[in-house]
Structure 1
Amino acid sequence: MKKTISVFLALIMLLTLLIPSVTKVSAAEPGVAESGDDWLHVEGTNIVDKYGNKVWITGANWFGFNCRERMLLDSYHSNIVADIEIVADKGINVVRMPIATDLLYAWSKGEYPASTDTSYNNADLTGLNSFELFNFMLDNFKRVGIKVILDVHSAETDNMGHTYPLWYNGTITEEVFKEAWVWVANHYKNDDTIIGFDLKNEPHTNTGTLKMKSQSAIWDDSTHANNWKRVAQETALAIMKVHPNALIFVEGVEMYPKDGLWNDESFDTSPWTGTNDYYGNWWGGNLRGVKDYPINLGAYQKQLVYSPHDYGPMVFEQEWFKGSFPTCDDATAKKILYEQCWRDNWAYIMENGTSPLLIGEWGGLTEGEDKLLEANKKYLRSMRDYILENKYQLHHTFWCINIDSADTGGLLTRGEGTAFPGGRDLKWNDNKYDNYLYPVLWKNSEGKFIGLDHKIPLGKNGVLLGSPDDEPTINYGDINKDGQIDALDVIALKSYILGINQNIDTQAADLNKDSSIDALDMQILKRYLLGQVTQLPLG
């Protein structure tokens, strides 16, 4: 037995010479934004910056460029620059920004449709067309340290365009969809204000209980026109050819066959007459197909993040919100949601080490007299707590900042809240923010918000990415705290387990995150050094 251990440690010592030391690089002093230093990529189930430091995308949605008005709609009611500034001051480090394919395609052809004139509130917007206005918003996001995820929300600029299930519609063909994405990626490839692209919002099925394959988004390995997996993969690869630094966010679909085979031209989902052979979920929230048919970006796989959507019962009273959910305690509610929806639709992707996740939309109403309000708030608490439990693996963009979302409300409100300079008749919804969003915003140990820019702090209350006072990053595997992961860490971990030496980094030693340091962690560390495990921690 001793001989076996000696041989193993000798092999580990040899491998140590091949393992680079782990170094964390801090940002420079605050200054002017620098293009190209803030690109992100995926390592295991984490999103990291160019130095390998883990980041946490904690943002919110702000719609309008997908609508007929072609602008952030809150500029109707307030000074939009003041709105951007309070969003940064409140610690939202990313804005997911919906837009329409037809607008991007027009811009690519040198055509610049007009936006609704709100210069009576915003003198700086006088005379700007939609393209100029979009860039004005980007400049102001950059100025306050906010990053942007661009989201194709619909094929056409239409306030209800997101209800159409597919990425093509009318003159917006699959080819136009891809061409528009490649153009925008190429145009902004040198500006890391836009850190990523959400390829299509909420692919789903046709309305009604009789679902038609010809009208619905599917997910498999076919060449079918409606195969979202195929189109997403092809579009992502086309983008990567011109802009290999962007993150690519891919949403799910709505329905998925229980046998994994899309061999029905139609299927009935009625609770009375249906065959119950398809799994249903929220639009864009069904990523079961990843298990059978994962997105393959080849050399660009580290830019891929899967991105489901999830909501509460006031958006739609799904089956999991019925039964015991309305009366159970919060812990039971979260367990119900996890077991009946989250785990098998998307959480497994994070849990099995395939990819980090970004919950692209979650949120909901927090005030009013609706009979489902208390259940809705219970959902919000459950999702908030689940996100926090999976920090760094589970990213999110809350829906939404706007006051114009009828079924969710917004962080801006005309109801109870705090007025702010430039907001005019808008207020900040303290109840929604304080109770549901604030707890899952990225903050350091001093409570300062952490942005995603290495040069521009996030608003008035934030710090740079990589600042010395960031929340400490756990360097899993560096048991003896010398900045390297090698055979000495195996010895230190063994000594700790045997009770010989307690001077180790216990957080870095819990390699399967089960809150216990034991022989299982030793086995994981040995396998990591032998190359049999590629990512720490497991789980």
Structure 2
Amino acid sequence: MAVLALDPHIAPPAIVLQVADRERPAAGGGRLLPSGFLSTSGSQIVDAGGRSVRIASIGWNGTDSPPGAVLAGLWQVSYRTVLDAIVAGGFNTVRIPWTDAGLDVPLNGYNDRLGWIHTSLNWDLVADPAPDANGRYRYVTTLQLFEKVVSYAGQIGLKVIFDHHTNEGTEQKNGLWFDLGPGSAGRDGGVKGRVTAETFKQNWVRIARTFAGNPTVIGFDLHNEPNGEKGLITWGGGGPTDIKAMCETVGAAIQSVNRDALIICPGPFFYAPPPAASGMDPGFATPSGNLTAAGTNPVKLPIANKLVYTVHEYPDEVSDIARFDLAQSGAAYVDRMNRGWGYLVRDNIAPVWIGEMGSSLRTQADRDWAATLIGYMSGDYGNQGGPTFGPGQQPISGSWWLIGPSNDPPYGIQTEWGIGNFRSEQRDITDRMLMR
């Protein structure tokens, strides 16, 4: 059930108490990103003045779930409090997922499975101040929620990256960014396909147009974790499952309505070496995302200095890589990053943003993973072929998973919702990925 709402046109006292909180600088020695949009120069992400910056982001889940799902934690705190907590953690950006099926669906404030809404703390998520015959309120849609989140994030200096997570709100079983039409079997796992490649593109255009000219929204992460294990995805060569072509087509469509945001292109995941005909290096597995072809066959956009590539890096706790006999720390792990994506940064070809990374850090193996990855991002493995960074340059950007508490690995960075309550073992790592 929903909590009885206050007048949605009047901010409740809880919101007033947060004014001082939102004026605090980013914690952990980190810095907020400068105002304005970002671009790229070689392997660096730069601000409007050409100065190198580091996207130090954290994920906020919830709207990656079935239609009507709310951002996590809104059953207990306001969305403003969550954004304040992100800044208090030293982060300068939040990564927020969306699904095609859920974009226009009103938030479900009553279903425990999707997360109900603490209405009096999220008073402006009520679309109609008059409840229905059952005493229930009608809430805004997911896209309208995003507009409110972006508005408040802009007030506190926090940037936003939107991530297309799935088509239907469940794990994308077909490995693709669409589930209907040529290239797809017309299904996404057990769910009947409803989203064509064209629908996917037009939904991105709509989001891009919604936030055009708004410097709070700095990037669009085109698709979460495309899975090459199904044998469908190629890099180049054309066809409906060519992920390079998707990034170019969708990226160009976005840039036609929004020239300013970064276009973030993912490498497809391969727990085993990809097929020889894939267009990618078939020599080794890349469970974090295969960008082996991006150096010689790069994504090309009409506005070229807006391209960022992305991978996800997790230890076995999350990614289950041990059963494939893949290293998660040490020299072998460094070599895999070098070959899979790190060379793009090392050779000054393009920036790479680690769009998800995280661990509960409760075992020595997890801690070794974190030490290797954060050291690699910081330029500590130049003697093993990794990237290094000179004066005025920023290390590799990353996004920790995730804000809030969680009962599933890698758990959340907080022990409970609110401002503070950070797990010290995770903060010891995230403090090292902040922008200085």
Normalised TM-score (structure 2): 0.75
Task: Report if aligned partners of 1:99, 1:151 keep a CA contact under 8 Å in 2.
Answer: yes
Cα distance in 2 between the residues matched to 1:115 and 1:251 = 31
Q: CA deviation at 1:322?
A: 5.4
Q: Which runs of 5+ in 2 are unaligned?
A: 1-23, 25-33, 110-115, 128-138, 180-192, 380-387
Query: The residue matched to 2:153 in structure 1 has which SS?
Result: helix
Task: Report if aligned partners of 2:56, 2:398 keep a CA contact under 8 Å in 1.
Answer: yes
Identify which of 117, 127, 140 aligns with 1:129.
140
Q: CA deviation at 1:335?
A: 2.4
Cα distance in 2 between the residues matched to 1:289 and 1:236 = 18
Q: Map Cα deviations across residues 54-99 of structure 1 (whole Å, 9 max, x no partner).
A: 1111111111122124321111233332222121122110111111
1:166 matched to 2:176: yes
1:203 matched to 2:219: no
What is aligned with 2:30? none
What is aligned with 1:118? 117
Describe how 1:33-48 pairs up with structure 2 within 5 A: 38-48=36-46
Aligned length: 358
Query: The residue matched to 2:194 in structure 1 has which SS?
Result: coil
Cα distance in 2 between the residues matched to 1:244 and 1:134 = 20
Cα separation, partners in 2 of 1:53 and 1:301, compared to 1, 3 Å: same
1:335 matched to 2:331: yes
Identify which of 218, 226, 251 aligns with 2:234.
218
Cα distance in 2 between the residues matched to 1:161 and 1:189 = 29
Describe how 1:316-395 pairs up with structure 2 within 5 A: 316-318=319-321, 333-339=329-335, 341-367=336-362, 373-389=363-379, 390=388, 392-395=394-397
Q: CA deviation at 1:281?
A: 2.1
Identify which of 184, 192, 197 aligns with 2:207.
184
Q: Which amino acid aligns with 2:306?
A: Q
Query: The residue matched to 2:277 in structure 1 has which SS?
Result: coil
Cα distance in 2 between the residues matched to 1:97 and 1:66 = 8
Q: Root-mean-square deviation (CA), in Å? A: 2.8
Describe how 1:3-402 pairs up with structure 2 within 5 A: 38-68=36-66, 69-104=68-103, 106=104, 112-116=105-109, 117-120=116-119, 122-124=121-123, 125-127=125-127, 128-130=139-141, 131-156=143-168, 158=169, 160-169=170-179, 170-206=193-229, 211=230, 213=231, 216-219=232-235, 221-255=236-270, 260-262=276-278, 279-282=284-287, 285-297=289-301, 299-318=302-321, 333-339=329-335, 341-367=336-362, 373-389=363-379, 390=388, 392-402=394-404
Q: CA deviation at 1:403?
A: 2.5
Q: CA deviation at 1:163?
A: 4.7
Query: The residue matched to 1:59 in structure 2 has which SS?
Result: strand
What is aligned with 1:447? none
Cα separation, partners in 2 of 1:405 and 1:101, compared to 1, 3 Å: farther
Q: Which runs of 5+ in 1 are unaligned?
A: 1-29, 31-35, 107-111, 264-275, 327-332, 368-372, 444-539
Cα distance in 2 between the residues matched to 1:147 and 1:410 = 20
Q: CA deviation at 1:289?
A: 2.3
Q: CA deviation at 1:242?
A: 1.4
Q: Which amino acid aligns with 2:175?
A: P
Q: CA deviation at 1:346?
A: 0.3
What is aligned with 2:188? none
What is aligned with 2:412? 410
Q: CA deviation at 1:436?
A: 0.8
Cα separation, partners in 2 of 1:307 and 1:320, compared to 1, 3 Å: farther
Q: Map Cα deviations across residues 209-230 of structure 1 (whole Å, 9 max, x no partner).
A: xx4x3xx3222x2222111111
Cα distance in 2 between the residues matched to 1:100 and 1:401 = 19
What is aligned with 1:22? none
